[in-house]
Amino acid sequence: MEISNLPISPSIRSKLLSKGYTSLSSLSSISPSFLAQELSVKLEEAVEVLRAVSDTTTSKSAHIPNGIIPGAVTAWDMLSEEQMQRHISTGCEDLDAILGGGIHCKEVTEVGGVPGIGKTQLGIQLAVNVQIPVEYGGLGGKAVYIDTEGSFMAERAYQIAEGCIYDILDKFPSNSREFLSCKERLQVNNFLAGIFYFRICSYTEQIAVINYLENFLTEHGDVKLVIIDSVTFHFRQDFDDLAQRTRVLGGLSLRLMKLSKMFNLAVVLLNQVTTKFTDGSFQLTLALGDSWSHSCTNRIILHWNGNERCAYIEKSPSVASASAPYLVTGKGIRGINSNFKRARIM
């Protein structure tokens, strides 16, 4: 809405700016003769300036006859898009059910829990599950794994990929011809080749890689999942100025939101826990403070329920809060019932 964006000659533009006309609204109710006198230019040039102003303002609103701003989508169109969208399965049917199908694309999901609860296991499982071909009910996309702690192990990823393929072949009998072509793609090496791995050693590298991700994702258009494990690690020890940390993290989360929306992928952030002193007692909460808790779309908390691992959906705009138990098995993340089913068949 600035004069500087108008398609007029530089000399007239500088005259306008020197007389104090900086925005288009200040030019909206002036007659051409007044403007010509004001700028000491010819009447035709003043008419041209005002025509450029009205063209700019009406062209922006004429693009979309019903909408208010360009780029706005109605909720009805978004609903049809959303219903066709596939979700990333976590491996555990109960957890998928309470999530409404799995991890949603175009959203940032934060997963937090105490050490040893299975956050990295869930991360690796998701990186494998996103690559399940479309014919078998998956997304058929690749994954970007940003590792800040060094807890990603290729051998474990191999194991989980093997377990995933075994379960797919178990579930879908490979008699029909259409599955035969996909079966060739179901190789463990292909699954491992579909995970792009970044190892990060400081918070500046973390900020840099997230800035670089936009270029990377433009080149590799089939990436459907970005996992950061964990987003907390480098921000806990090196930062002295907590206010600056909050600002940096806020900017980071906005960039991740933008990436997930622009490239239609899911972003999963793994977080650690800390103790907080509220209302006279110490409680466990997710790290990085109160401001960070607003920067994600969904939040899942992993916790111990007696001897069982449990996942609790704490924040989501579309599904209700619920809890589901899960297991960490040799094959990866599985639900409680699947193990028992296997025992009964045998």
In whole angstroms, how close is the CB of 333 to other proteins at the nearest point? 19
Which of 224, 207, 226, 228 is closest to 144 using CA atoms?
226
Q: How many residues bind other proteins (CB under 8 A)?
A: 76
Sole window of 190-198, 218-226, 281-289, 336-344 interacting with other proteins (rule: CB under 8 A): 281-289
In angstroms, the CA 341 to CA 95 distance is 17
Cα-based distances in Å from 96 to 104, 311, 313, 324: 10, 11, 11, 9
In whole angstroms, how close is the CB of 244 to other proteins at the nearest point? 7
In angstroms, the CA 13 to CA 173 distance is 71
Between helix 43-62 and helix 10-19 the angle, nearest 10°, is 90
In angstroms, the CA 161 to CA 167 distance is 10
66 binds other proteins (CB under 8 A): yes
Q: Which residue has the tokens 């609204």?
A: 25
- DSSP 8-state code for residue 297: S
Amino acid letter at 200? I
Q: Are 7 and 52 in contact (CB under 8 A)?
A: yes
318 binds other proteins (CB under 8 A): yes
Q: β-strand 298-305 against 308-315: which pairing, if any?
A: antiparallel
In whole angstroms, how close is the CB of 340 to other proteins at the nearest point? 25
5 binds other proteins (CB under 8 A): no
**CB-nearer residue toward other proteins: 71 or 173:** 71
Region 112-131 residues binding other proteins, contact defined as CB under 8 A: 114
Q: Which residue from 5, 187, 202, 283 is in contact with other proteins, where contact means CB under 8 A?
A: 283
The 70-109 site mask, x for binding other proteins (CB under 8 A), equals: xxxxxxx-xx--x-----------------x-----xxx-
**CB-nearer residue toward other proteins: 164 or 266:** 266
Q: Are 123 and 332 in contact (CB under 8 A)?
A: no
Region 320-339 residues binding other proteins, contact defined as CB under 8 A: 321, 323
**CB-nearer residue toward other proteins: 115 or 173:** 115
Radius of gyration of the chain (CA): 27
The 156-195 site mask, x for binding other proteins (CB under 8 A), equals: ----------------------------------------
46 binds other proteins (CB under 8 A): no
Q: Which residue from 87, 188, 312, 325 is in contact with other proteins, where contact means CB under 8 A?
A: 312
Count of other CB atoms within 10 angstroms of residue 53: 20
The 136-155 site mask, x for binding other proteins (CB under 8 A), equals: --------------------
In angstroms, the CA 296 to CA 316 distance is 9
Region 229-248 residues binding other proteins, contact defined as CB under 8 A: 243-244, 246-248
Q: Which residue from 90, 125, 260, 271 is in contact with other proteins, where contact means CB under 8 A?
A: 260
